Amino acid sequence: MTSTPSLPRLAASAIIIAALLPADLALAQLRRKALVAYVAPGITQVLPSVAKEAGLFSKHGIDAEVILLTGSPRLIQTLIAGDIDYALGGTSSVLRARFRTPDPMIIATTTNFSGQRVLLRPDSSLQRLQDLKGKIVGVTQYGSQGDTFLRDALKKAGLKPDGDVSILQMGGIPQVNAALLAGKIDAGVAGESSLVLIQQGRAKQLPGASAKDLKIAGSGATLSVTRRHISRDREGISRFLRAYVEAIHYFRTHREGSIRALTKFFRGASPEQVAFLYDDQREIFDPLPIPSDEAIQGELDRETDPKAKTMKPADFMDLSFLREIEKSGFLAELYGKSPR
């Protein structure tokens, strides 16, 4: 008569088999699925796509799907609803959501400066911000980072938003660009994605009308999650951020592979245009993508909600994951002793 193995013996056997599995196979059995959404096809939002194309998400046990979801307010609403796991979008929408709810939380940034600027058609005669009086300017959505930048820029120029200048929400960056090129609006607001149009000769920047020119403090796109996600799966978020940090290193050090990822990301751009973007922006990312207090405070200072006066940058961020990565020596493994 054949004896049936006892439950303790079966459990012990399972543990032994798991211990003998190759590390890659063991990791595969613990993989996390992640749906990542970015708000616009700009160079600073390419990191999730680079991590996926270079196999870095897979290396760290993440099965990631990367999608475009235009409009930062919509993006953050979708994150809070639980329909996506990670949101890479405008900081102002994160702040406004946090004024009303406990979510979301910023866990990393792209850059500690804003790349927003006002775009014109190449044949436009406009020469300065004051020339926008009586004109129509397109933004992605009301309340988006581009919309917030434009309103600040107009005020600096002595113009009244929605009074002296008409502001129209178009839905997303592709719609803003299309309306501008078709002559349906006089100017449009875009971030780093505008560099493609400028390099193609299909658009130009309004002189003096960028966040950098106007010295408007602020943040680039930030990476956010919900508190529910943090409490449920710290290990998964830690793995995701390791892949994100390694994607920065890959972008800075692997030109050919990064250009290949950029070519897929910027659909329709020529190899020459993509190479131009890469060479121009290769060192735009800091090795450790920690949002600075100054950048977040710059965003807070522009908010009109009374809660903006009572909250600090730290109230919007959970930097424990990046600090743990920093202490682990992971950066030294990637860059050597002094990442720069």
Exposed/middle/buried for 124, CB within 10 Å: 0-12, 13-18, 19+?
A: middle
Decide: 167 and 140 in contact? Cβ < 8 Å: no
Reading the block at residue 120, the tokens are 């014109």
Q: Using CA atoms, how far apart are residues 142 and 76, in angstroms rounded to an integer?
A: 14
Contact 161, 155 (CB under 8 A): yes
Beta strand pairing status for 105-109 and 222-225?
antiparallel
The domains located in the chain, with CATH, are: 26-113+219-335 (3.40.190.10), 117-210 (3.40.190.10)
Hey, which residues does 223 pair with through a beta bridge? Answer: 88, 108
The CB density around residue 293, as the number of other CB atoms within 10 Å, is 14
pLDDT tens for the chain, 340 residues: list them: 444 445 455 445 445 544 544 545 455 558 899 999 999 888 889 999 999 999 999 999 999 999 999 989 999 999 999 999 999 999 999 999 999 999 999 999 999 888 899 999 999 999 999 999 999 999 999 988 899 999 999 999 999 999 999 999 999 888 999 999 999 999 999 987 788 788 888 999 999 999 888 988 788 899 999 999 999 999 999 999 999 999 999 999 999 999 999 999 988 788 888 998 899 889 889 999 999 999 999 999 989 999 999 999 999 999 999 999 999 999 999 998 666 6
329 Cβ contact list (under 8 Å, min separation 6): none
Q: How far apart are the first and last CA of the chain?
A: 69
The model's pTM is 0.77
